[in-house]
Structure 1
Amino acid sequence: MRVSSCRRTVSAAVALFITSPLVQAAETADTIQVTATRTAQTADESQASVTVLTREDIEASPAQSIDELLRNVPGIDITRNGGYGKNTSVFMRGTESDHVLVLVDGVRAASATLGSFAWANFSLDNIERIEVVRGPRAALYGSDAIGGVIQIFTREAERTSLKITGGSHRTREATFTTAGGKDWRYNLEAGRSITDGIPTNPTLTEDHGFTNSHASLAIRGNLSEADRLNLRVNHNEGKNELDPSTGDSRYTNQTVSSKLTHTSSPNWMQQFLLGYTLDRSESFSPTIPSTITTKRYSAGWQNDIDWSGGLTSVGIDFWQDNATKDDSGIIDESIDNQALFIQHQTNATRYGELTASARVDDHSDAGTNETWSLGWSKKVGNLRYLASYGTAFKAPSINDLYWPNSTSTFLGTTYISEGNPDLEPEESDTLELGLRHQLTANSRYEVSIYQTNLDNLIDWQTTQTGADEFTTTPSNIENATIRGLELIAATRLSNWELSGSFTLLSAKNDATGVQLDNRPREKMKLQALWSEDDKKLTMELLGAGTRKDRDGSVELDGYHIFNLNYQWDYAKQATGRIRFENLFDEEYVLSSSYGGDYNTIGRSMFIDFIYYFDNRK
């Protein structure tokens, strides 16, 4: 890569951060992604395993929720404790569900107490694109990015529209989008979704519904020739109905992102980011009602410098978490983290391209954590060879550290739970080798193999501490080894786009040799997309092998699900969609508890009607 190419990369990064997050490279038509290196790259240039889901992909998908969309991505597995809106976990490449760093418009968005993201509360109508980066990224982002990073960019609709949805389980939705402005552009999205749902588990007969109201606002424009400002606000709130013994809950999730991009010179770009995240959950449990609120304040400064040796990025990050809990056991705690990171991406040489990253995090409870990564790639004709190695860590959550001493009694037995302020961070190292082959202009395939070693895993374990007393507390007692193989292929034949992926995964506890919970050994996905004029048909077949659950004590059967989406423009200002989920009504289980299996969605149908308030195609 010559210096001029580096300058184009920096220019692309500027464009990505100050305009729409959906950017196409003019010459290659490859979608630009930014999450893997915190700078803009095409998919072919990236040394990481990346999947980008655009707004067009979302609209062509039969998925009704974000977890159903993500489970089609190679390396991702999900669990859900019931129907829509119920507790959802996302696992990436066999790591834990809180080993996935989730960003919304560049801002950390997971709960500070649970350490995981509220997937069920985020509407697909509020998403412009999703970037999924598989593999460790702690050397750029710090804690949590052991399995990878998922960044959600909120909606940037360019047309005023109204979408109405109705379907199974008495689902009804309405979403309005609009945009305008010239020098200063704005985008507004607002909607509401209600579903009566399904019973959470087979022993119940009453449906457990879910209500979600969502809105987002984006404003962006030039402050001067050198300065561009991008403001984004996202809000979700609603109610989740659960079984009587658990009690219903209300939730509120917010993210605020303020990004200033300053072009200091043709070869030097600076980015300043301020962020705010709110996660509030109010439980109406009949036994232990409570309200838990976490707030995160974050700031970052990144410098991208293009010089003869390549592209160097240097920056600092800061975030502070505050958590409060009332009623049954009080929490009022804060933790903070400050970090310095550096990354260098070399120009292409006869020996290939090299990316080196390093970061130092100073965590108020987890201490100093140093992470680094090294990536190499070389393109030979239509083949690109890849290799990378990276370290990562996960700091304990506020619940892990400070969950208050809580006592309950059932049938004469006392149960106690409390956090452990002496926990150490979880750590990992990952080696990955890959190959990408562009067979023809319309056909390609990718192969990746990787191994991740996990140390000091935090596990909440129960021990008997008295004749009729049991205590549950977390400790660093587990190690695990994960080995995986990912195969991805895609081709275009006339009006058909065909793609597929296959994953083999061994994720085992080192002490017991048992596969970790909720990680299928095999997973496959086949997709066929047909388009002609104003019509589009999407067919998906998703399969997963057997999985362990309940700490390895039970094995869940494998399953295959067939989904379908047909979309057509029946007028210049109107589009219709009919979507089928689990068309053949497969009976399967995603998650289980000691009280029994959780129900999953059977055959379902949804109809979307979208009306545009203008004649633009």
Structure 2
Amino acid sequence: MKFARTSLAMALMATAAFSHAESLSLDNQVVTATRTGQSLGANLGAVTRLDQRAIQRLQPTDMLDLLRRTPALSIVNNGGAGKSSTFGIRGSSSDHVLVLIDGVRIGSVTSGSAALHNLPIEQIERIEIVRGPRSSLYGSEAIGGVIQVFTKRGTGGDPKPWMSLTAGSRNHHGGSAGVSGGIGQGWYSAAVTSLSTRGIDARPGRGDPDNDGYRELSGNLRAGYRFDNGLELEGHALESHSHSDFDSGYKANNDSKLKTHGLNARFSPLEPWRVTLQAARSEDQNDTFNGSTFNSRFDTRRDSLGWQNDIDLAPGHLLTLGFDHLTDEVSSSTNYSENRRTNKGYYAQYLGQRGVHEWQLSLRHDDNEQFGRYNTGSIAYGLSLTDNLQWVASYGTAFKAPTFNQLYYPGFGNPDIKEETSRNIETGLRGEHDWGNWAVNLFRNEVEDLISSVSLGGGIYLSENIDKAVIKGVEFEIASHWLGWDWSSNLTLQDPANRSSRPGQGDLLARRAEQMFNLDIDRRFGRIGVGAGLHAEGRRWDNAANSNELHGYNTVDLRAEYWFSHAWRLQARISNLFDTDYETAASYQQPGRAGYLTVRYQPL
């Protein structure tokens, strides 16, 4: 189905009037953009924050269903719930987006992608999305942006239990339960989630003519204690085990595990000096089978150590100094000529504010035993033109180290491949008014030595660098309460193009839409809440040669909820109301119309 002209017209008109309230609220705090706690309004970057209230109101079925509603974020899914998926911010690829869970870096070091589709949505407290490069703070991978997921954290006091039960189309059954609280100066939170669905036939007419189901079981635990001397210790662990059927051979299926474990310590040696120490491990494990016959195993592990110092120089002036140590390791049934590498990173940041002026300066030096040393930096400036209008501008550099597949996978890897580098410049205006909030951002990201798969003929591909890719675009966000309704909308128009000197110059980068639009409206009538959402994307090309077009599409969702009390409520949702037939990857269909009913106990 083509991207309807009426939908694009609606997008332009609505974006001129409304947008994402959660992403623009000045009262919220975010950490990801600066690695320190700052109010959302004080950040000079393009940041979206989705808290627990917003997540539950939107009633997403999984993490990807939620993220595709945010500005400039595109999803590519291979056939429904739990299937292999990729995502990008501002036309970047999946391995250009750094993903963190409670500060722990995740993602497969072979494929370079994080398994966001396996994360339990019910165990999330909030999500922070930073658009634009952040390598000057985080090192490799943060070319397009950073996504950080924060799991639920206890706040002390009496135990507070919560639960939810969901049933829906295609034998969708889900259940979650948890409890949080505290004892004395300690706090804790524990949760478990189960999900299963019959799924859909991801590739009709190809592979196995059956539905490709998905099952998931996950758990999360966080606990901490603050001592009388101010020392604060916290440990956290999350594990998600999943099983997914997919169309690639006879009864193909895989078993996956996503794990994160971390320990943090925070203390203040002196009043203006705060120290944070972190030791963490993340694991991405994937075993594939044809029926009951073992096919392949890819287990990757990331061990990290961090030391961060935040020093208040004066009111409105903060200096941050830090060190990161990261070890990536692969264990696989495939023989890699190298299976381990380490990276040391040193970073500094200065946040300042004086009168109507704000600035953010950051520098980082990375020393990687695989490709050597690399320096990145960024500068951002904000000027308050009036009490409710601010102009911002920034420039930043970033890089991404090649994955183990791009370097060493037999028959595909290229050990001579270079790291990808980028230069990003952006500017924008944003305002806060009695009627609502709005923001406009223009960006241009130039990526050199972009890593791509180059065909050698006969079905053989080799990992190689492309000279240059340029991604430029504009984002609109507006939010308002109008005619008794809460309206939120965002529109992204972008041009992600290959600008190399090789054949293909001017072609669009594969699987990147040129237009993306979201509109959500909600209203509360006493105990009843109702809402609707529209998601639309323009056409994209499935391949680098731009010969296989995937048509644009739009989907509409309806949602409602009834509050029995301040804690108990019944929620209902219809997704893809008009049963739109579309693909985000060639030959992989997406779910049609579906309905879901949820009973929730959640004291908010």
Is the structural similarity TM-score above 0.5?
A: yes
State the distance in 2 between where 1:610 and 1:243 align: 35
**Which of 585, 588, 597 is the aligned partner of 1:598?**
588
Q: Deviation of residue 290 (structure 1)?
A: 1.2
Q: Deviation of residue 307 (structure 1)?
A: 1.0
Amino acid at match of 1:383: L
**Which of 308, 311, 328 is the aligned partner of 2:318?**
311
Amino acid at match of 1:608: T
State the distance in 2 between where 1:470 and 1:252 align: 31
SS in 2 for 1:125: helix
User: 1:390-401 alignment to 2 at 5 Å?
Assistant: 390-401=396-407
**Which of 218, 222, 225 is the aligned partner of 1:218?**
222
Gaps of 5+ in 2: 1-21
1:325 corresponds to 2:346: no
SS in 2 for 1:248: strand
State the distance in 2 between where 1:253 and 1:43 align: 30
> Which residue of structure 2 aligns with residue 526 of structure 1?
519
User: 1:95-244 alignment to 2 at 5 Å?
Assistant: 95-156=92-153, 159-182=160-183, 183-203=185-205, 205-243=209-247
State the distance in 1 between where 2:45 and 2:56 align: 26
Cα deviation digits, residues 46-85 of structure 1 (max 9, x gap): 1000000101111011321111111110110111000101
1:84 corresponds to 2:81: yes
> Which residue of structure 1 aligns with residue 361 of structure 2?
356
Q: Deviation of residue 248 (structure 1)?
A: 0.5
> Which residue of structure 1 aligns with residue 571 of structure 2?
577
Q: Deviation of residue 565 (structure 1)?
A: 1.7
Q: Is the 8 A contact 1:576 1:610 kept in 2?
A: yes
State the distance in 2 between where 1:345 and 1:458 align: 34
> Which residue of structure 2 aligns with residue 267 of structure 1?
272
Q: Is the 8 A contact 1:362 1:369 kept in 2?
A: yes
Q: Deviation of residue 310 (structure 1)?
A: 1.2
Q: TM-score, normalised by structure 1?
A: 0.89
Q: Is the 8 A contact 2:154 2:222 kept in 1?
A: no
Quote the sequence identity (%): 31
State the distance in 1 between where 2:228 and 2:416 align: 50
Q: Deviation of residue 123 (structure 1)?
A: 1.6
Q: Is the 8 A contact 1:93 1:147 kept in 2?
A: yes
> Which residue of structure 1 aligns with residue 382 of structure 2?
377
Higher relative contact order (CA 8 A, sep 6+): 2
Q: In terms of mean alpha carbon deviation, does 158-167 or 505-514 score higher?
A: 158-167
State the distance in 1 between where 2:94 and 2:103 align: 20
State the distance in 1 between where 2:575 and 2:305 align: 41
Amino acid at match of 2:425: L
State the distance in 1 between where 2:120 and 2:232 align: 28
Q: Is the 8 A contact 2:338 2:408 kept in 1?
A: no
Cα deviation digits, residues 88-110 of structure 1 (max 9, x gap): 11110011111000000001011
Q: In terms of mean alpha carbon deviation, does 46-55 or 254-263 score higher?
A: 254-263
In structure 2, do the counterparts of structure 1 residues 305 and 573 end up closer, same or farther at CA, with 3 Å as the change threshold?
A: closer
Amino acid at match of 1:202: P
Cα deviation digits, residues 414-466 of structure 1 (max 9, x gap): xxx2311221100000000010012x2241210000100010011122214xx
Q: Is the 8 A contact 2:394 2:425 kept in 1?
A: yes
Q: Is the 8 A contact 1:315 1:342 kept in 2?
A: yes
User: 1:443-454 alignment to 2 at 5 Å?
Assistant: 443-454=436-447
SS in 2 for 1:120: helix
Q: Is the 8 A contact 2:154 2:187 kept in 1?
A: no
Q: Is the 8 A contact 1:66 1:120 kept in 2?
A: yes
State the distance in 2 between where 1:495 and 1:34 align: 33
Q: In terms of mean alpha carbon deviation, does 517-526 or 383-392 score higher?
A: 517-526
Cα deviation digits, residues 186-232 of structure 1 (max 9, x gap): 10110110000000112153100000001000101213332111211
Q: Is the 8 A contact 1:226 1:264 kept in 2?
A: no
State the distance in 2 between where 1:82 and 1:184 align: 44
Q: Deviation of residue 255 (structure 1)?
A: 0.4
In structure 2, do the counterparts of structure 1 residues 348 and 534 end up closer, same or farther at CA, with 3 Å as the change threshold?
A: farther
SS in 1 for 2:95: helix
**Which of 600, 609, 612 is the aligned partner of 2:599?**
609
SS in 1 for 2:56: helix
**Which of 40, 44, 49 is the aligned partner of 1:43?**
40
State the distance in 1 between where 2:407 and 2:332 align: 14
Q: In terms of mean alpha carbon deviation, does 51-60 or 515-524 score higher?
A: 515-524
Q: Deviation of residue 494 (structure 1)?
A: 6.2
Aligned-pair RMSD on alpha carbons? 1.8
SS in 2 for 1:347: strand
Q: Is the 8 A contact 1:62 1:564 kept in 2?
A: no
In structure 2, do the counterparts of structure 1 residues 446 and 471 end up closer, same or farther at CA, with 3 Å as the change threshold?
A: same
**Which of 510, 535, 538 is the aligned partner of 1:542?**
535
Amino acid at match of 2:130: V
**Which of 441, 448, 463 is the aligned partner of 1:455?**
448
> Which residue of structure 2 aligns with residue 408 of structure 1?
none
State the distance in 2 between where 1:196 and 1:151 align: 30
Q: Is the 8 A contact 2:442 2:474 kept in 1?
A: yes
Q: Is the 8 A contact 2:154 2:182 kept in 1?
A: no
State the distance in 1 between where 2:338 and 2:391 align: 50
User: 1:328-343 alignment to 2 at 5 Å?
Assistant: 328-329=334-335, 333-343=339-349
Amino acid at match of 1:421: P
Q: In terms of mean alpha carbon deviation, does 146-155 or 603-612 score higher?
A: 603-612
- Number of residue pairs aligned between Structure 1 and Structure 2: 565
Q: Is the 8 A contact 1:239 1:250 kept in 2?
A: yes
Q: Is the 8 A contact 1:562 1:582 kept in 2?
A: yes
Amino acid at match of 2:560: Y
Gaps of 5+ in 1: 1-23, 406-416
State the distance in 2 between where 1:50 and 1:346 align: 19
State the distance in 1 between where 2:230 and 2:406 align: 45
Q: Deviation of residue 567 (structure 1)?
A: 1.5
